[in-house]
Amino acid sequence: MIQRDLFPSHSCCLWLWLCKEAGFQKRSAPPFGRISAMDFALTQEQELIRESAYKFGQNSILPGLAERDRAHQSDKEMLRRMGEAGFLGVCIPPNYEGMGADYVSLGLVCEELERADSTARVAMSVHVGLHSMTLMQWGTEEQKRRWLPDLATGRKLAGFGLTEPNAGSDASSLRTTATKDGDHYVINGQKTWISLADYADQFLIITKLAETTAKAPYAAFIIDRNTPGFSSRAIKGKLGVRAGNTGELFFEDMRVHHDCRIGEEGDGFKVAMSALDHGRYTVASGAVGIIQACLDASVKYANERSVQGEPIGKKQLVQQMIASMVQGREVGRLLYYKVGWMKNQGLRHTKECSLAKWTNCAAAFDAANKAVEIHGAYGYTDEFPVERYFRNSRGAMIYEGTHEIHTLMQAEYELGYRTDKPLDYVLPSYPFED
């Protein structure tokens, strides 16, 4: 017996053939209700946002980037310009002073910004994905009105703190503690590998509760960098993302009021996992931007570089590498478009987001490796940008879930060892309510 709701409502040759095989009488329309068709086209608004992000990358990120990258020098002014352009509030609702675009648009912005350089996409990941969107999901209305307007406009910058010197993939090994003291919590500990560590005005951090009856002894807080007991320090000597700011955070008897806690006591780990769903989405979409940048550089070089009287692009092994990059780009876009659509619909998407991040980051590193190969010895110098793509793409296979962690996650989902339970709080679906 045929399951009728699997088929679209318009007639087609396949439908007529199946009707005949099943013994249905010929009729002008299939005997079931109309369902919405799958649509891969971007809206006019999304196309305009993509174009705006592309132009921003070309005009506001790339000039002087090679020199900053070489000198390990970050550019805080770029972050201010991103705020003015509206990117830091792209998917924040208008009633919190955001642009109010959908979550696919966030992915498009991340793709085009990382097409220019990873530093801008990293800022989107921590400011928008890990911090602002998590606040949208878990914050009270008062907390959202207190913090989101400044974040959406770029008047303030935000970061995220989960990783510690002894707690990376094993987030349950956190040692940063929060001890209840009246209306405050006293926080002590350290976070490391924190993007915008020296620039962010506030951070969403995950702590272990020192004294609690909660089953899961973790809590999340938004802290201000001007709070007594807070300090930060930059990390030097990174392989990639050299034009970005990365550092450590230190908390020494730092008193934080209870109204800065996000969620309840015991919700900290769930808040962190929600944040990673948002951050991983921005990383997955940004990785497609690296693949596109590798294609831009490689196609140009393959058409200009000649060997034996013809462009190297005519060589089949070069074509094979170009084709592999195209494959990675197209698969990667479909994966992150799906996650963006699921976010718009308000659907749980941890599995799909992990798949997109895992697949796209590996494809980006492979594309960068092939881009270096196509450029030959020139690809081994910073005269061409492909060596920067190679260095930057390697980091994305480590942060926000290593390649190995996502491999295990996908296997456990398929084997039935891992399932996702409904969340207490969900990200607002799109269109946003007034």
- For the annotated catalytic residues, the residue numbers are 400
Q: How far is CA 330 from the centre of its chain?
A: 18
Helix (H) or strand (E) holding 330: helix 316-345
Helix (H, G, I), strand (E, B) or coil at 255: strand
CA distance 303 to 294: 14
Q: Dump the DSSP string for 387-427.
A: HHHHHHHHHTTTTTS-HHHHHHHHHHHHHTS---PPPSS-P
Helix (H) or strand (E) holding 252: strand 246-257
The label of the residue with tokens 């409502």 reads 9
**Radius of gyration from C-alpha coordinates of the chain:** 24
Closest CA to 237 of 109, 33, 71: 71
Q: SS3 string of 31-75?
A: CCCCCCCCCCCCCHHHHHHHHHHHHHHHHHHCCCHHHHHHHCCCC
- Please state, in angstroms and as integers, the Cα–Cα distance from residue 205 to each residue in 225, 239, 346, following that order: 12, 25, 25
CA distance 196 to 238: 14
Tell me how far apart the terminal alpha carbons of the chain are, to the nearest angstrom: 46
Query: What is the torsion angle, in degrees rounded to the nearest 10, for the CA atoms of residue 372, residue 376, residue 382 and residue 387?
Result: 10
- Please state, in angstroms and as integers, the Cα–Cα distance from residue 308 to each residue in 64, 305, 312, following that order: 36, 10, 9
What amino acid occupies position 329? R
Q: What are the φ and ψ backbone dihedral angles of 221, each rounded to 5 degrees?
A: -135, 150
- Please state, in angstroms and as integers, the Cα–Cα distance from residue 128 to each residue in 87, 179, 279, 313, 337, following that order: 9, 29, 8, 39, 18
Closest CA to 74 of 201, 193, 241, 233: 241
Check: CB of residue 328 under 8 Å from CB of residue 352: no
